[in-house]
Amino acid sequence: MTDELLYNRQRAIGLDIPQAITIAGCGGVGYMVAISLASAGVPNLYLFDPDNLEEHNRARMFCCQSSIGKPKVEVVKDFIAGIRPDCIVVAVQDKLDDILLDIQLRVSNVIIDCTDSVKSQIKIYKACKENGVRFVRAGYNVNHITVTGHVSGFVRGNDGEETYAQDPSWIAPPLVIAGEVLYKIMKSPDHEVSLDLEEIGIPIKEKTSRLTARCNQEGRTTRRR
């Protein structure tokens, strides 16, 4: 496949597209981020997630019911193969940890943490910082989304261990997050997002009526926006 026609309009935007990106966690957020990166032209993707796809995951992922029970990383890889066959995807059904993390620090321009594990986030963030690799954390809590180059806040139980709650979730936050991640990586490294979905948008300002030159006639007004 040639990208001559595929990306001819995208080139004018001046995107900074990394050669290799690693994604830790391929649930709703990681899934949308991965296919969006592939769609934007990232040539090499490394996917890490130890889990298999379950029925409830399909509410936040573009996949068929026949994919249930398959490794999440393989489901993402198969989807990308259908839309961007030139994208090289390495799917690893495991956590991004220990020697695997050491390897990815050597081959990746960016590592994106889309996991629910605070321990993972902290470990990957510190490793990226020590090795000069860009780190991006992407996640959400119900309708509050976060895209940052740091480790976001977390909750600990009485025993000091991190806790995970199955909060209400739907497909909208992962879709929005994917766009924010791409913008941060490819256009504005300092771009940071921490807000509720309802906060997105441009405030509606009071509009005033004004006669245009063409409609400057008695009894006619045209709203200019």
| 75-98 residue pLDDT tens | 999 999 999 999 999 999 999 999
The per-residue pLDDT for range 92-103, each reduced to its tens digit, is 999 999 999 999
Alpha-carbon Rg of the chain, whole angstroms?
A: 21
Domain boundaries, the chain: 3-199
The span from the CA of 27 to the CA of 14, in Å, is: 30
pTM comes to 0.84
Q: Which long-range contacts (CB under 8 A, 24 or more apart) does 212-218 make?
A: none
- The token pair at 121 is 């986030």
The span from the CA of 60 to the CA of 112, in Å, is: 18
Residues 6+ apart with CB under 8 A from 151: 118, 121, 122, 125, 137
The span from the CA of 214 to the CA of 36, in Å, is: 45
- Which ranges constitute the DSSP H helices of 108-170? 118-131
Q: pLDDT per position in the chain (225 positions), as tens?
A: 456 789 999 999 999 999 999 999 999 999 999 999 999 999 999 999 999 999 988 988 888 889 899 999 999 999 999 999 999 999 999 999 999 999 999 999 999 999 988 899 999 999 999 999 999 999 999 999 999 999 855 444 444 455 445 678 899 999 999 999 999 999 999 999 999 998 887 665 444 445 445 444 445 444 444
Which fold, 3-199?
A: Rossmann fold (3.40.50)
